[in-house]
């Protein structure tokens, strides 16, 4: 059969244009991103990546949160960006009140306020506006946390200081001079039983009522004293990662898991109790008793350097990387062409 050359050219152009535009997702009312990897190494998982075609011009996605209306917010190297389900746009930057465009972490507190860690202090954001900046001369290099009493905790990198904000006032600051164990603070994590967990270069601290209740080190079973990440599973067991990417579980005793991802930048346990581990070599999916699965650029990931992982209210996993953001959908859904 002979084909009319003009018809073939037109048909090819239509195909190219349709894939160069955001195609409506009839199931969700959103727009599909330009790049969609399709099936990944794990069955029933679809990975898509968002970027400039959806309006996201920033990189270094180090914070992701979702408000009660379902909107997503990204902390980036170009301020805070908002995703309305089809497009990203810059919400806050130095031009409209943010103390710095370099955002190292985002959280939403129990009152719906956003807290942005930057290299020029901790910003409190309410209704889309910056209403306060704490420690404006300090580099807040890791995300703040909220404890069960509603207090906000954050770390000053240069001074190695642990700070507590209570009722919008910076009420107390701790240093290694006050508490010997506060040496080289890396990460904070809320303790479901009250107080906070503090990851340091000298082990893990259980901190409550302004004192160290427990100091867990390699002598107690940790793989290493250098705690780089802290997170919890669905059974409220606390996990920590060390410099080599190995995991230690803090429960009745201390159990260990051999390194499976190299140095971990971030980690999350989702509602299915699946571990998602972000490293400089990609994203690792891990479930007890199963072989780890790794996702990289080759599978459609925005970048191999994973900086942040977040689960939205629909169970989708969002992966902030050094070069944009990706989303993993665990459920099969009807999509556009």
Comparing 74 with 177, the larger pLDDT belongs to: 74
What does the pLDDT look like over 272-321, one tens digit per residue? 999 999 999 999 998 878 888 999 999 999 999 999 999 999 999 999 99
- Closest alpha carbon to 74 in 305, 82, 107: 82
pTM of the full predicted structure? 0.84
Instruction: Tell me the percentage of the chain whose pLDDT exceeds 90.
Output: 63
Average pLDDT score over residue span 117-140? 96
Residue indicated by tokens 């302004």: 210
Between CA 310 and CA 248, with CA 302 as vertex, the angle to 5 degrees is: 45
Q: What is the pLDDT of residues 192-220, one digit of tens each?
A: 989 999 999 899 999 998 889 999 998 88
- What are 227-254's pLDDT values in tens digits? 989 999 998 899 998 877 788 888 766 6
pLDDT for 43: 55
According to the model, what pLDDT value does residue 268 have? Answer: 96
The per-residue pLDDT for 238 is 92
**Contact in structure between 151 and 172 (CB atoms under 8 Å):** no
What's the confidence (pLDDT) of residue 160? 78
Rg of the chain over Cα atoms, rounded to whole angstroms, equals 22
Q: CA-based angle 152:119:189, to the nearest 5? A: 35
- DSSP conformational letter for 17: H
Average pLDDT, the chain: 84
Residue 57: is its pLDDT beyond 60?
A: yes
Confidence of residue 157 (pLDDT cuts 50, 70, 90): confident
pLDDT at residue 6 above 70? no
More confident residue, 28 or 304: 304
pLDDT for position 149: 95
Q: For 162-182, how does the pLDDT look when each residue is reduced to its tens digit (9 = 90+)?
A: 999 999 999 999 988 888 788
Query: Is 255 a residue whose pLDDT tops 90?
Result: no
Q: Can you read off the two tokens belonging to residue 156?
A: 């000053």
Share of the chain above pLDDT 70, in %: 82
> Which tens digits make up the pLDDT trace of 17-27?
233 333 333 22
Residues 6+ apart with CB under 8 A from 51: 33, 34, 35, 302, 324
Pairing of strands 72-76, 79-83: antiparallel
The whole-angstrom distance between residue 194's C-alpha and the CA centroid of its chain comes to 23
Buried b vs exposed e over 95-108: b needs ≥16 C-beta within 10 Å? eeebbbbbbbbbbb
C-alpha span between 205 and 200 (Å, rounded): 8
82-116 pLDDT, tens per residue?
999 999 999 999 999 999 999 999 999 999 999 99
Q: What is the pLDDT of residue 111?
A: 96
Q: Average pLDDT of 27-36? A: 36
Query: In this model, does residue 126 exceed pLDDT 90?
Result: yes
pLDDT band (50, 70, 90) for residue 183: confident
């Amino acid at each position: 059969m002979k084909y009319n050359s003009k018809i073939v050219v037109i048909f090819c152009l239509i195909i190219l244009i349709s894939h160069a535009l955001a195609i409506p997702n009839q199931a969700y009312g959103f727009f599909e991103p330009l790049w969609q990897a399709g099936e990944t190494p794990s069955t029933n998982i679809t990975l898509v990546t968002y970027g400039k075609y959806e309006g996201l011009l920033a990189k270094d996605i180090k914070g992701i949160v979702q408000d009660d209306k379902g909107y997503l917010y990204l902390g980036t190297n170009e301020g805070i960006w908002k995703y309305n389900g089809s497009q990203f746009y810059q919400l806050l930057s130095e031009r409209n009140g943010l103390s710095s465009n370099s955002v190292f972490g985002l959280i939403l507190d129990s009152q719906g306020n956003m807290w942005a860690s930057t290299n020029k202090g901790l910003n409190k954001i309410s209704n889309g506006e910056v209403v306060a900046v704490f420690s404006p001369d300090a580099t807040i290099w890791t995300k703040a946390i909220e404890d069960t009493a509603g207090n906000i905790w954050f770390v000053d990198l240069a001074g190695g200081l642990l700070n507590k904000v209570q009722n919008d006032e910076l009420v107390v600051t701790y240093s290694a001079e006050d508490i010997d164990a506060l040496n080289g603070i890396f990460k904070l994590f809320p303790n479901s039983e009250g107080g906070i967990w503090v990851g340091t270069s000298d082990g893990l601290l259980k901190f409550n009522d302004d004192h160290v209740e427990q100091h867990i080190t390699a002598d107690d079973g940790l793989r290493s004293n250098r705690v780089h990440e802290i997170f919890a599973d669905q059974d409220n067991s606390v996990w920590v990662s060390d410099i080599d990417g190995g995991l230690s579980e803090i429960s009745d005793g201390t159990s260990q898991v051999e390194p499976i991802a190299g140095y971990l930048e971030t980690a999350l346990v989702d509602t299915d109790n699946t571990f998602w581990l972000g490293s400089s070599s990609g994203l690792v999916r891990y479930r007890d008793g199963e072989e780890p699965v790794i996702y990289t650029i080759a599978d459609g990931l925005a970048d191999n350097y994973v900086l942040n992982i977040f689960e939205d209210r629909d169970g989708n996993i969002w992966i902030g990387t050094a070069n944009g953001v990706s989303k993993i959908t665990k459920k099969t859904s009807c999509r556009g062409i």
